Structure 1
Amino acid sequence: MQRENVVKSVSRALDIIALVGMKKGGLGVTEIANQIDINKSSVFRTLSTLVQYGYIEQENETQKYKLGYKFLDMSTKLLESIDLRKEAKPFLQELENRTNEVIHLVVYDQGEVVYIEKLEGNETLRTHSKVGKRAHMHCTSVGKAILAHLPDNDVLTIIDRKGMPFHTEHTITEKEVLFDELKQVRQKGYSLDQEENEYGITCIAAPVFDHLGNIVAAVSISGPTTRMNDDRLNALGPIMIQTSQQLSARLGYVK
């Protein structure tokens, strides 16, 4: 790699950090010097500076150097500062390009889902959804994708507060039926809304997790039931799971 306008001391420090980070048990001064072709005194001075700032730590028993907890603190701050909409946008656009359907990104808030992003797709579809709108969770694919990964007590609390209002003749209005479906959602990795919220509209959604493993959002594809038939839903399932995994990984989630 060509390096221009590089401060040698900074470059040396970054090289050492990268090298130490690759070795789980840590490295000694001699090992580091041999691998990056720098004299031991320079390596020691650089390590000593990094230790003072918390980026490198030295094991008392082995005297080897390893990454310091400063990196953990920094990575946590980075993950907490991630803009969900910004990070999700490329994945949403990819779904839109692949399907030409309406794509949604929602978050959970106070017992409801809130639409924070909507891509219209190229096909004609009129839905009630819009950015900023709230919706019930029991009758939407995005809502069920989130409910499936909340504790049962939280789901019961949401149902008690918000109820399970009737939207169409397909709406689930019984707790036992909903819990059975949420179990299936966890098993399949995605959820469906088959005209449960709006007549003529079928949706498929998948959950999104943050770096702590908490459910934070859901992504969905919505289309007319005439296009979103069983064959197409079966084909879209793996795509939704892949998108869920990729976006969650982008947010720092490690399964």
Structure 2
Amino acid sequence: MQRENVVKSVSRALEIIALVSTKKGGLGVTEIANQIDINKSSVFRTLSTLAQYGYIEQDRETGKYKLGYKFLDVSSKLLESIDLRTEAKPFLQELEKMTNEVIHLVVYDQGEVVYIEKLEGTETLRTHSKVGKRAPMHCTSVGKAILAHLPEHDVIAILDRKGLPYHTDLTITSREAFLQELKEIRLRGFSLDLEENEYGITCIAAPVFDHLGKAVAAVSISGPTTRMTKNRLNQLGPIMIQTSKELSARLGYVQ
């Protein structure tokens, strides 16, 4: 019986927290009691207990209750504990299973991308990528996916510092054309590397956003151009966009 009461009290507290969180200006005891069908004395006792621990606070002017700052402390600890590679692994494995191609996860660092995960797929493909290696942003799908969502002044600073060096005959080396490419990527939701970094290899990528909405990483599928046809890229586009949304949500990003 005691255990059942404890579960009920926790359940009641969670219901109240969820309800209060929906109202920016807070809610009064009567409003809460009416909405979740709990008597006012029980609501008041629960609110008082939550307030003691900082999870709920009462507005001195309105008397209404709203979320307390303790939630910021708890959420920041949760965000700090999130490991990108761990969160991304199931998504990368699903892409590998679906395509049998090479799957990459990169992070943005000082104007370049760094490969932090690579799944080889089951098809044969020789690429220069390996975990720990750095790569340019302007000619890789992962780099372009991130650049397209960085603030414009950051993009310009990177281009000023790094330039648009030639890698293949298909590398975009015109700043005007490259900035236009980034606009198209933002509209499309995914980026392409059409043999711009390595001859014979085509890649498609999508950005990964953190809880602040910053593009901090990207996921890509890489394969030989003979397999990564225009038709296949069109099919993979929506899949990459969905992967981006779901993985970003795991990192705390709310659209």
TM-score (norm 2): 0.88
Residue 243 of structure 2 is aligned to residue 215 of structure 1: no
Question: 1:245, CA displacement in angstroms?
Answer: 1.2
Structure 1 residues 133 and 61, CA gap change in structure 2 (3 angstroms) = same
Q: Distance in 2 between matches of 1:118 and 1:252?
A: 23
> Unmatched 5+ residue regions in structure 2?
none
The alignment partner of 1:117 has SS state of strand
Equivalent position amino acid for 2:65 in 1: Y
1:98-109 equivalences under 5 Å are 98-109=98-109
What CA RMSD, in Å, does the superposition of the two structures yield over aligned residues? 2.3
Task: Count residues in correspondence.
Answer: 253
**Which moved further from structure 2: 32-41 or 63-72?**
32-41
Aligned-partner residue type, residue 99 of structure 1: T
Relative to structure 2, which stretch is displaced further, 189-198 or 16-25? 16-25
SS of structure 2 residue aligned to 1:91:
helix
Give a deviation string over 1:1-34, Cα, whole Å, max 9, x none: xx87956654543343234335555443345456
Deviation at 1:235, TM superposition (A): 1.0
> What is the DSSP-based 3-state SS (H/G/I as helix, E as strand, rest coil) of the residue aligned with 1:128?
coil
Alignment of 1:10-25 (within 5 A): 10-22=10-22
Which residue pairs with 2:67 in the alignment?
67
SS of residue in 1 equivalent to 2:93: helix
Which residue identity lines up with residue 80 of structure 2 in the other structure?
Answer: E
Q: Please name the residue that 2:162 is paired with.
A: 162
Give the equivalent residue in structure 1 for 2:243.
Answer: 243
| TM-aligned CA deviation for residue 174 of structure 1 | 2.1
Report the CA distance between 1:125 and its aligned residue. Answer: 1.1
Question: Counterparts of 1:230 and 1:101 in 2: how far apart (Å)?
Answer: 16
Q: Secondary structure at the match of 1:202?
A: strand
Q: Distance in 2 between matches of 1:36 and 1:181?
A: 52
- Counterpart position of 2:125: 125
Deviation, 1:61, is 4.5
Q: CA deviation at 1:183?
A: 1.4
Other-structure match for 2:231: 231
Q: What's the counterpart of residue 144 of structure 2?
A: 144
For residues 37 and 188 of structure 2, the distance between their equivalents in structure 1, rounded to whole angstroms, comes to: 52
